[in-house]
Amino acid sequence: DPAVHKVVISYSIMQFQQQPADMPLKSYVWDVNNPNTPEFEMSPNSQICCSKFNLKDTNIIGSGQYNGQFTFYDLRKGSSAVDATPIDLSHRDPVYDMAWLQSKTGTEAMTVSTDGQVLWWDIRKLSECLESMPLREKGSETNLGGVILEYDTNAGPTNFMVGSEQGHVFSCNRKAKNPADRVKYVLGGHHGPLSGLRRNPFNSKYFLSIGDWTARVWTDDTAVKTPILTTKYHNTYLTGGTWSPTRPGVFYTIKMDGTMDVWDLYYKHNEPTLTVQVSDSSLTTFAAHESGGIVAVGTADGSVNILQMSAGLSEMALNEKAAINNMFDRETAREKNLEKAIKEAKVKARKEAARKDELIDNVTPEQLQAIEEDFMKQTALDGADANGATENGHAENGGA
């Protein structure tokens, strides 16, 4: 909540076989200034996997559940969900992420799940699904599981991105003229499910993806299919993170070993500026307050740590925005030049291979026969010379 330091915390165990028989279902809203007692309690019929405050009314919270339903709560109306999507129209897998959309009413939302579907809803009438989209590459009939959503109005109210279980980034446009063209392009590179996907708040053309052992910065340019920046490969799995809302060159990553890294691209690229041991447990979720001074980090043991960022990490440096944009543009140009050089090398190799094939194809049967006869004659001569040398050798041995 931007007005007050409130945080909504969802609690779920996504590994089905690790869920205890008495699995707690409740999730909470906390006031950061009062860590002893939750301000609001959400009592669902299935564990909540993700929750977000409504963009226009922070009394409303949208939630995605383990059973595939999308629900919403009103802080003014008690702990039970106000409404929920029908089971038969909901996702077939847990709702991994959701996003509130920019609309006149502020009541529309979208959800994504590992069932390979993106669904759109309006909380004024959750009895029906507004729209659905299978998450698949162009020309493919195989749906890929979605695990994270990115929706930023600065990139356009109908544009969004989805990170998949397989490590792909889908760039999509909900209102494409042809439904088959809603997936604009797909980027690959990560070796496992994405745990973070966010556009840079100061330049939405660039975005951050987090997955496997790396974080990567990409450009929303169809001419570049590779990341313009990649962090080093860590010794432990990255589980989340995002950009700083107040520093264009700063982003956070959290890891399975309980540490949080702060990367400041304005000063260096190869190492994090700060590493903090937040917990002995694995870090699982991350959120940054829009002031940039406070971040919340969730852990595998069910606790949440609130960290205060220093002024150096939350206040923009002089000319930082221009410097970061120039760096991103420079790296984008470098990637374009590399891809151009690779394409030219491939074309050259294909032409060389075609030329060799053409030379082989132009040899006539008569030429082949002549080559074979020459080879046989040469073989016979070599054999005769070898026999003569052997006989002479024997004669010399006998004379000795």
Task: Indicate whether 151 pLDDT > 70.
Answer: yes
Task: Indicate whether 184 pLDDT > 50.
Answer: yes
Distance CA 309, CA 139 (A): 46
In this prediction, what percent of the chain has a pLDDT beyond 90?
Answer: 64
- The answer to whether residues 294 and 309 touch, using CB atoms and an 8 Å cutoff, is yes
**What pLDDT was estimated at residue 126?**
95
Question: Model confidence at 322, in pLDDT bands (50, 70, 90)?
Answer: very high
What type of residue is 278? Answer: V
State the alpha helices, DSSP H only, in the chain.
311-314, 320-361, 365-399
Of the two residues 128 and 361, the one the predictor is more confident about is 128
Task: Indicate whether 85 pLDDT > 60.
Answer: yes
Q: Which residue has the tokens 């996504």?
A: 14
- The answer to whether residues 98 and 109 touch, using CB atoms and an 8 Å cutoff, is yes
Q: How many CB atoms lie within 10 A of CB 202?
A: 19
Chain mean pLDDT for the chain: 88
**What pLDDT was estimated at residue 34?**
87
Q: What is the mean pLDDT of residues 160-171?
A: 94
In this prediction, what percent of the chain has a pLDDT beyond 70?
Answer: 91
**What pLDDT was estimated at residue 396?**
44
Tokens matching residue 76: 């003014």
- The answer to whether residues 301 and 284 touch, using CB atoms and an 8 Å cutoff, is no
* Alpha-carbon distance values, 132 to 72, 110, 129, 141, 270 (Å): 19, 9, 7, 16, 41
Distance CA 357, CA 83 (A): 68
Question: Model confidence at 383, in pLDDT bands (50, 70, 90)?
Answer: low
Of the two residues 21 and 78, the one the predictor is more confident about is 78
Q: What is the mean pLDDT of residues 67-76?
A: 95
Task: Indicate whether 218 pLDDT > 90.
Answer: yes
Task: Indicate whether 2 pLDDT > 90.
Answer: no
* Alpha-carbon distance values, 13 to 19, 27, 117 (Å): 6, 12, 21
* Lowest mean pLDDT across 48-62, 94-108, 353-367: 353-367
**What pLDDT was estimated at residue 4?**
60
Q: 256-290: per-residue pLDDT in tens?
A: 999 999 999 999 888 999 999 999 999 999 999 98
**What pLDDT was estimated at residue 359?**
60
158: closest CA among 194, 108, 122?
A: 108
Task: Indicate whether 376 pLDDT > 90.
Answer: no
Task: Indicate whether 366 pLDDT > 70.
Answer: yes
* Lowest mean pLDDT across 113-117, 168-172, 325-329, 388-392: 388-392
* Alpha-carbon distance values, 352 to 3, 113, 338, 345 (Å): 65, 47, 21, 11
Task: Indicate whether 384 pLDDT > 60.
Answer: no
Task: Indicate whether 388 pLDDT > 70.
Answer: no
pTM across the whole model:
0.82
Distance CA 376, CA 253 (A): 70
Of the two residues 165 and 347, the one the predictor is more confident about is 165
Q: What is the mean pLDDT of residues 56-71?
A: 95
Contacts 24+ apart (CB under 8 A), 253-257: 253/196, 253/210, 253/215, 254/278, 254/283, 254/284, 254/285, 254/286, 254/297, 255/282, 255/283, 256/282, 256/283, 257/282
108: closest CA among 94, 95, 86, 124?
A: 124
Task: Indicate whether 398 pLDDT > 80.
Answer: no
